[in-house]
Amino acid sequence: MAEVQKIHGIHAVQALIKARPDHIVNAWMDRQRKDAKLQAIKQSLDEVGIRVDYVDKKTLEKLSSNANHQGVLLTAKLPQERTEEQLKKALKEQQDQAFYLVLDQVTDPHNLGACLRTALAAGVQGVIVPKDNACRLNATVCKVASGAAELLPVYRVTNLVRTLKYLKTEGVWVSGAAGEATKDVFEAELTGSVAIVMGAEGKGLRSLTQQQCDQLIKIPMSEKVESLNVSVATGIILYEVLRQNQRSLNS
């Protein structure tokens, strides 16, 4: 049986209904709340065939473990992570240019959720994470991702080095972000099929991971700033990939 998460708050609930209504198990709403936003959520739940149980505010607080529920709470199945074999199948069936994000031992669920949300917005086709020392898809990740965890495939692989080698045999250009790199991200070649590899919070890319990258790139920064949060850095680099590919298509 799939693990169940609690989804609360208007934006998170709306995102789940839109992205994966089939994952919803139960729904509760505050019977005293009659505002337009909750009425719209009720209508959306009716449209996808989910029955709403109306309860008082005290009961909703108990069900949500005193979270900021904003009058609505869902329980939903967690999205399922995908396997290394599914990644290989996706690459073999790829019709257009590949665009993947690789996260090397990112353990913070807020960072993973933010990376998923940005990756989906930038058009990434999948996120690759190692089996060990990396955050799993959980309720916190899904809430921060605001629907992206339900839409974007997350592939958990046994050996990240081996997977990077495989990506390269499939014609994917692997670029790793590293503070010690000499190449500026805005000067690097990031067109075609690419995988962007980002390191863990504070530690960056492991040396073995760096060795498998076709190039190492860095984000230019003021001397007053030592480093950026991994989700912020991910956003900058992914959108540079997007910019370069759009420019290439238009030229």
Residues annotated within a binding site for S-adenosyl-L-methionine: 199, 219, 228
Taking every pair of C-alpha atoms in the chain, what is the biggest distance, in angstroms? 60
Closest CA to 167 of 133, 128, 123, 136: 128
Burial of 33 (C-beta count, 10 Å sphere; 0-12/13-18/19+): middle
d(CA 56, CA 10): 17
Extract the tokens encoding 170. 């499939």
Binding residue numbers: 199, 219, 228
Closest CA to 52 of 32, 18, 26: 26
CB atoms within 10 A of CB 53: 13
